[in-house]
Amino acid sequence: MALRCCLNLIFVFHVLMLCPIPLCSSPIPEELSQIPLNFLQYAKSPEVFDWMVDIRRKIHENPELGFEEFETSKLIRAELDRLGISYEYPVAITGVVGFIGTGNPPFVAIRADMDALALQEGVVWEHQSKVPGKMHACGHDAHVAMLLGAAKILVEHRHLIQGTVVLVFQPAEEGGGGAKKMLETGVLNNVDAIFGAHVSPKYPFGMVISRPGPILAASGFFEAVISGKGGHAALPHHTFDPILAASNIIISLQQLISRETDPLDSQVVTVAKFQGGDAFNVIPDSVTIGGTFRAFSKESFIQLKHRIVEVITKQANVQRCNATVEFNEDQKPFFPVTLNDQDLYEHFRAVAGDMLGSKNVLDMQPLMGAEDFAFYCEAFPGFFYFVGMKNETVGKFEPGHSPYYIVNEDVIPYGAALQASIATRYLLEYSPKSTSTKGYSHDEL
């Protein structure tokens, strides 16, 4: 009898040792601070690191443009299947949304974009793009690898997840507004907060950078056709010269910033396209110009859009021409301001500081670049940050959208561990008043 009791106690002890005990609802600070370090150590293990790098290189070799990421999506789904993670597909054509945890609130999302750019890769290496005219020149291949790495970390530490982590693999960030279409499907309706990471060639490896409030600008594109009356270049008085009209329009558009904009309210208007005429001695009938405009507030953005139309049409009339202005929002939707939530900023600083040291968590100035992550920030609290990867010993780091763009693959485990840590700690530390439907649970879980 005593032997049987002893054996039973040994069995119970063995089972308890094999089954990780979840943290209590109010974990102590020491337990929380260890999570990022443990996750990073796991992500840097040779097996996990090599797996993530292999995924990144496969995606890099086979780049796909916005809403065409079918093979990338297939690869993601295959890896999620291997990890035993439930997901929804298709979402916004090629998107994938995975779920890890209890299936109950709160829901915290972490996001990666999947699309490539229409560029011919200029970097010659073993895994360069195999698709002519297409290249991952903004690090989205690394973002996907990092999010799959975060998924692997979360599965390995599933017992820590008190709620549900939503994995958002998003198509068409590069101008296509994939985030907007993901939201329109309703699959993210129950999300309480979302975090997005972007590798950066500007900042040193081992640092992360962000800020509260506006971090990236609202942006839109415009195209205008200025129509006049063509003729011989030797007889300009017989023409209504659209090239002259377009030239005056471009100068006047710059005055929207220099003379109508508060210097403390950052705005940009850039004309980057000018097409007209194909002979040295013929004034054409029409000219097409196009560009982008950006601002850090919704009001400034709307006003800038209104004045662009006024300046183009009225300056064209001064030169006896007509003009039509299109914004092509169906193909290139306007991006709102990317606005980082203050509470999520504090959460990010705490988690990143525990992983990297507070001296390596930096604040930045807002950038006039744009990100469709902004659509998520309009729908629910969001936070976007950059992970530094610059290391001159690895190579020369060109800015995003350069055909010579490279990724320092050492950054991948840091991005993966940080995304996983931010999500896990959010669920452990926060009990936000969920915007989720009461009693909601995800059926697939």
Pairing of strands 322-326, 218-227: antiparallel
HEC secondary structure over the chain: CHHHHHHHHHHHHHHHHHCCCCCCCCCCHHHHHHHHHHHHHHHCCHHHHHHHHHHHHHHHHCCCCCCCCHHHHHHHHHHHHHHCCEEEEEECCCEEEEEEECCCCCEEEEEEECCCECCCCCCCCCCCCCCCCCECCCCHHHHHHHHHHHHHHHHHCHHHCCCEEEEEEECCCCCCCHHHHHHHCCCCCCCCEEEEEEEEEEEECCCEEECCEEEECEEEEEEEEEECECEECCCHHHCECHHHHHHHHHHHHHHHHHCCCCCCCCEEEEEEEEECCCCCCEECCEEEEEEEEEECCHHHHHHHHHHHHHHHHHHHHHCCCEEEEECCCCCCCCECCEEECHHHHHHHHHHHHHHHCHHHEEECCCECCCCCCHHHHHHCCEEEEEEEEECCCCCCCCCCCCCCCCCCHHHHHHHHHHHHHHHHHHHHHCCCCCCCCCCCCCCCC
Measured CA to CA, the distance from residue 206 to residue 423 in angstroms comes to 20
pLDDT for position 18: 36
Residue 291: CB partners within 8 Å, gap ≥ 6? Answer: 221, 222, 253, 269, 270, 271, 272, 273
pLDDT digits (tens, 9 = 90+) for 236-274: 999 999 999 999 999 999 999 999 999 999 999 999 999
pLDDT for position 431: 55
Which residue stretches of the chain have pLDDT < 50? 1-24, 433-445
195 backbone dihedrals φ, ψ, rounded to 5°: -125, 140
Measured CA to CA, the distance from residue 134 to residue 348 in angstroms comes to 34
Q: How many Cβ atoms are within 10 Å of 155's Cβ, its own excluded?
A: 16
325 backbone dihedrals φ, ψ, rounded to 5°: -120, 130
pLDDT for position 437: 43
pLDDT for position 27: 67
pLDDT for position 361: 98
Whether the CA torsion 385, 390, 394, 400 is positive or negative: it is positive
Q: Taking Cα atoms as reference points, which of 236, 216, 246 lies closest to residue 315?
A: 246
Measured CA to CA, the distance from residue 425 to residue 338 in angstroms comes to 23
The residue count of the chain comes to 445
